[in-house]
Amino acid sequence: MTRVHVTDLVKDYTIREGLRRSRLRAVDHVSLDLTPGRTVALVGESGSGKSTIAKILTRMESPTSGTVDVRLDDGTPVQGSLYRRQVQMVFQDPYASLNPFHTIEHHVARPLRIHQRTTGAAQTHQRVLEMLERVNLSPAEQIAARRPHELSGGQRQRVAIARALAPGAQVLIADEPVSMLDVSIRLGVLNLLGRLQREDRLAVLYITHDLATARHFSDEIVVLFRGRVVERGPADAVILDPQHDYTKLLAMAAPDPERGPARVAAGAVIDRAAIDNSVCYDHFAGEWQQVGSPARSAATARSAATARRTA
Amino acid sequence: MTHLSTDNGPTVGSAADEKLAPVASSADRPRAGWRAMLPTMTPWLALGLFLVISIALFGTIGPYLVGDPGQIRDIGLTAPSGEFVLGTTQTGQDVFAQLAHATRGSLQIGLLVGLIATALSCFFGIYGAYRGGLTDEAFSLLSNVMLVIPGLPLVIVISGFVPREARGLWTIAVVLAITSWAGSARVLRAQTLSVRSRDYVAAARVAGERSWRVIVVEILPNLLPVIASQFVFAVIAAILGEAGLAFIGLGASNASTLGTMLFFAQNGFALGMGAWWWFAPPGLLIALFGMGLSLINFSIDEIINPKLKNVRAHRKRARKAIRLEREVRRADRRTAGRSEAGAQEVASR
C-alpha cells in the first residue's frame, strides 16, 4: 500500500516570445492526498493544470516548488526505480499511447521485464496473458499477437491499463482515460478501473473535466481552476451542493434534460471572467479558505468569501 | 452523461459490448510493423530492384570471372569483338574487365559513404532531438553549418590537400560522408521531434525504459522508412560524387572506380577518337544504377510521404466501387426487365 502526499505544488513555465520572457503558473499551490482504495477526481477545464499535475506525479516534469511525498505503509519513501514501479499512468488518448510498430505483447511485457517482475520469455508471456485477461481482453493469446491499430479504442485503453498495472503499480494516475472513447464504452472502462482498484486497493487520481463520471467513479473531488484548487470535498457534496462559482458553472454545463433551459439561463448569470480563484471551499472543513499567495490581499478575499456566503 | 448507472459491480458485460472486430481479410487489413515498412511491389519498383541487383551482382561476381584489367596488350584501341566484349583501351586493356572491377570499386565507395553518412545523420539528428535543450541546439547548429558549406568545393579542397599516396578508398569515403550527412540529419531531427512528443514515448519513459532503449526500440522503428530513403539517396550521391572527384583526378589512388575509368578515357582522348566502348559503358552503368536506386526511393517515398501514402489504396478502392456500381446497375436493369415482363403478364391475364 502506498500513500501520496502532495504539498504546495507549484509549476511555472517560461514562455519565450522572441526576446520577451514571461512566466506562466500552470499549477499554483496545489495540495492533495492519495490513499489506498480511494479515488480522488481532479476536475477542471482545459488548461487548468490537471495534466501538469499528472506529469509531475509521474516524474515527467519536475515541480518548481512543493513536494510530492510517496511512502510505503512502513514509512519508507518511494524513490528511484521503485517510484516507477509504484506510480503509473494511463494516458488520455489510447490511439497515441501505444506504439503502432509494436505488438500488444511488447507493450505489456516491457514493464514486466524492466521491473524484473518475471524472468524468462515463457513466464513473461504467461504473465502478459494473465494481465490481458484481467482487463477483460480475451482471447488473450490472439490479442497479444495483434498490433494497436487492429484494436478498438476501448480495447486499446484496456491494454494501456494492463501496461500501467504490469509493474505492480499501487498508485494509478488516469488522465482523462475515457474522454477519447465512445460514450457506450466509457462506462465499461470506468467499471473496469473501479474493479481493479478494489481488487488491488489502488490509490487512484482520476483526472477529468466531466463532473458526472467524477461523481460516479470517485470518493473525493478536487476542482481546479486556473491552476488553483477552488473546491474540494466528498464527491456527492461537491456535485449536489457546489459552493464556488466555478463549480456551479461546471455543474450547470452538464446537460440535464429535466431542467433544460432553466439551467442554461442560470449559467448566464455567472460571469466567467469574474470568477475568483483565490478562495477555496473545503467541504471537509465546511469553510472558505485562502489559496496560495493571492493576487489580492487576504482581507478582500475574505470579504469576498463572506459576501458569497451571505448571498 | 448525467444518467450514468451507478452499478459498480464487476463488468462482465463490458467485454461483450465491444467484441473483437472480425479479422478482416488479409488484403484489406491495414499493415503495421515490419510489413508497413515495406513498399508495395509496382512495375517501377521491380525495374529498380532488377537494375540495382544485377549491377550489384556484376560488381561482386564479375571481377572473379574476367581477366586482369591492368594487363597491357600491343593491339591498342580495338572495337568490341568476340575476344573482347567491350573492346580494348589505347593500351590494349580489356574494357569489360576494367568495368567489372570499377563497378565493384564504385559500389564499395557508395555503400561505405551511405553507411557512414546515415550513421552520422542518425546520431546528430535523432539523439540531439531526443535529448533536447543544449545538446539539440549544439547538434542543430553543427548540422546547419555543415549544410551551408558548399559540398563539392570542400571535397575538392580536402581531397587536394590529402597527399596522393594517402588518398585511399577510405579517405575518399570519409570525405564524402562528412559533407553529405547534414541534410538528412535535419530531416531526422524534425521527425524525431514529432515522434518523441507522442504519448507512447512518454508511456515508455513512465514505464521506466532507459533512454537508449526509448530511442532504439520506440522511436527508431518509426523512422526506418525515412532512414532507408536517406541511405539510398546517400549511396547515389556518393557514387556520383566519387565519379566527379575521380574524373578531375582527385579520386582514390588505390582503387579503380567508374569515375577513374572515365578519367582515363578522357585522358586517352576516347571521345575524340570515337572510342564509344571506352567511355559509354561506365557512364551508362552510373546512370542505370542511379536510376534503379531512385526508382526504389520513389517506392519508399510512398510510405513516408503522407500525401502519397494512401493514393494507391484510394485508387484501388475507387476502382472497386465503380465495378460494384456497374454490377448493381446491371442487376437493377435485369430485375426491372423481369418485373416489367411480370406486369405485362398480369395485365394480359
Structural domains of chain A, with CATH: 2-310 (3.40.50.300)
Inter-chain CB proximity B204 and A110 less than 8 Å: yes
∠ at Cα A159 (A155, A165), nearest 5°? Answer: 140
Inter-chain CB proximity A101 and B222 less than 8 Å: yes
Looking up cell 477519447 gives A180
pLDDT score at A259:
58
Inter-chain CB proximity A142 and B20 less than 8 Å: yes
User: Which sign does the torsion angle of CA A124, A127, A132, A135 carry?
Assistant: negative
Low-confidence stretches of chain A (pLDDT < 50) are: 293-304, 311
Inter-chain CB proximity A110 and B206 less than 8 Å: no
Rounded Cα distance, B230 and B187, in Å: 9
Residue of A nearest to B12 (CA): A136
Inter-chain CB proximity B1 and A213 less than 8 Å: yes
DSSP B223: H
| Contact residues, chain A, for B221 at CB < 8 Å | 99, 101-102
C-alpha cell at A159: 491494454
Q: Please give, rounded to a whole number of angstroms, the shortest distance from the CA of A114 to a CA of chain B.
A: 7
Residue of A nearest to B224 (CA): A101
Helix (H) or strand (E) holding B70: none
| Contact residues, chain A, for B8 at CB < 8 Å | 191, 194
Q: What is the pLDDT of residues B85-140, one digit of tens each?
A: 777 777 777 788 888 888 888 888 899 999 999 999 999 989 988 888 888 889 99
C-alpha cell at B44: 517501377
Return the number of other C-beta atoms located less than 10 Å from residue B9's C-beta: 9
Name every residue in B having a CB less than 8 A away from some CB of A. Answer: 1-2, 4-11, 13-15, 17-18, 20-21, 23, 29-30, 32-33, 36, 198-200, 202-209, 217-218, 221-222
Q: Is A205 helix (H, G, I), strand (E, B) or coil?
A: strand
Determine the length of chain B. Answer: 349
Rounded Cα distance, A248 and B204, in Å: 38
pLDDT score at B120:
92
pLDDT score at B101:
87
pLDDT score at A205:
92
| Contact residues, chain A, for B13 at CB < 8 Å | 188
Inter-chain CB proximity B208 and A111 less than 8 Å: yes
Rounded Cα distance, B113 and B242, in Å: 10
> Could you write out the three-class secondary structure of B117-134?
HHHHHHHHHHHHHHHCHH
Please give the model's pTM, rounded to 2 decimal places.
0.74
Residue B200 near residue A96, CB atoms below 8 Å: yes
**Cα A115 to Cα A97, A107, A112, A275, B259, distances in angstroms:** 20, 14, 6, 46, 56
Q: How many CB pairs under 8 A join A and B?
A: 120
Q: What is the pLDDT of residues B288-312, one digit of tens each?
A: 988 998 888 888 877 766 666 667 7
Rounded Cα distance, A266 and B235, in Å: 70
| Contact residues, chain B, for A166 at CB < 8 Å | 207
Instruction: Name which residue leads in pLDDT, A172 or B260.
Output: A172
Given pLDDT bands bounded at 50, 70 and 90, which one contains residue B8? very low
Q: Which of B8, B18, B209 to mutate to test the interface with A (most CBs of A within 10 A)?
A: B18
Rounded Cα distance, A217 and A206, in Å: 8
Helix (H) or strand (E) holding A30: strand A20-34
- Side by side, the strands of the sheet bearing A65-72 are A20-34, A2-17, A65-72
**Model ipTM over 0.95:** no
Partners of A289 in beta bridges:
A280
Inter-chain CB proximity A58 and B20 less than 8 Å: no
Nearest Cβ partner of B17 from A160, A166, A184? A184
Least-confidence region, from A198-207, B154-163, B190-199, B281-290: B154-163
Residue of A nearest to B197 (CA): A96
Residue A207 sits at φ, ψ, to 5 deg, of: -95, 130
pLDDT score at B119:
93
Looking up cell 506562466 gives A24
Rounded Cα distance, B263 and B250, in Å: 10
